[in-house]
Amino acid sequence: MAFQDNDDKADRKQRGRPRAFHEKTEQNTIKSLDRALVVLAEVARAEGITLSALAQRLGESPATIYRVLTTLALHQIVESNDSAQTWHIGAGAFLIGSAFLRRTSLVETSRPILRDLMETTGETANLGVEKDGHVLFLGQVETHAPIRAFFPPGTLSPLHASGIGKVLLAYFDAPRLHRFGTAGLARFTPHTLADMADLQADLAQIRTRGYSVDDQERNIGMRCIAAPIRNALGEVIAGISVSGPTSRIAPDEVAKLATAVISAAARVSEALGASPQNAPD
């Protein structure tokens, strides 16, 4: 048994969170930093936006937004396109964001398997996890074909209208799935499963066959086939998929592609410590 004196404990507390950390009061926030992060998030969503449009969208003065942008630009977190007079995410933001990807072995482990899956199927291979009711895409290996799906790392997509999203939803427990459904299901195309009963029926099929199909449910003309990735406890923590145009992924191609996707998901799961014995029903 190890012992620790009071001086050591006091030193450890000083290096940790302050006493008021859990108090949700304004004293624990920095308004200027909060504003800067709101600006940064909006620049990321816009993928190129003018100063005036950004200020109008956020309800702030252009002078205030400009000061935020120039401060962020000093750290290369944003950058400006002088000819187009637009602002974009900079290389500094990518370097910071990459730390999230390095935090887990999932991305590193999946990368060569994504590449193999793309080469085997000829279609773009994707990796995603659940994030606040959406799929957060963490990795992608694009097909060599001229027409392709494109989900760069950091892209968010609705869970119920995504191949990976539906695979993740299929393994939500009942209370969590109910909470998800109460928010409402947006309809993006005539094929979107915007009714909870229809979605639940599809999720039951996904659990039975081991893969999901996004059949033009987010974008007309695109199909996606996804399978679940499990950790060492057998928990579904991510999804892997292939996506491409309906002209190449015809209905009679789905089963063959699903076999390749399931195999790739199993390889990633095994590398993360999962085994068929601990996979949930």
42 in a structural domain? yes
Return d(Cα 250, Cα 236) in angstroms, integer: 28
Predicted TM-score (pTM) of the model is: 0.67
Give the DSSP H or E segment for 229: strand 222-230
Could you tell me if 68 and 148 lie in one domain?
A: no
**CATH for 173:** 3.30.450.40
Check whether residue 82 and residue 205 sit in a common domain: no
3-state secondary structure of 85: coil
Instruction: Tell me: do 112 and 243 sit in the same domain.
Output: yes
Distance of CA 74 to the CA centre of its chain: 28
235: phi then psi, degrees, rounded to nearest 5: -85, 140
Is 131 in the same domain as 226?
yes
Q: Provide the residue-wise pLDDT of the chain in tens; the chain has 281 residues.
A: 333 444 444 444 445 555 554 555 556 678 889 999 999 999 988 879 999 999 999 999 999 999 999 999 999 999 999 999 999 999 888 888 767 665 558 888 999 999 999 999 999 999 999 998 899 999 999 988 877 777 778 888 999 999 999 999 999 999 999 999 888 999 999 999 999 999 999 999 999 999 999 999 999 999 999 999 998 889 999 999 999 999 999 999 999 999 999 999 999 999 888 876 544 44
Alpha helices, DSSP H, located in the chain = 6-15, 31-46, 51-58, 62-74, 91-102, 105-121, 163-169, 174-182, 196-209, 254-271
Number of domains in the chain: 2
Domain-ending residue, one of 43, 67, 93: 93
| Domain end call among 65, 93, 121 | 93
Whichever domain contains 39, its CATH number is 1.10.10.10
> Residue 23: inside a domain, yes or no?
no
Domain of residue 237 covers: 104-278
* 88 and 108 assigned to the same domain: no
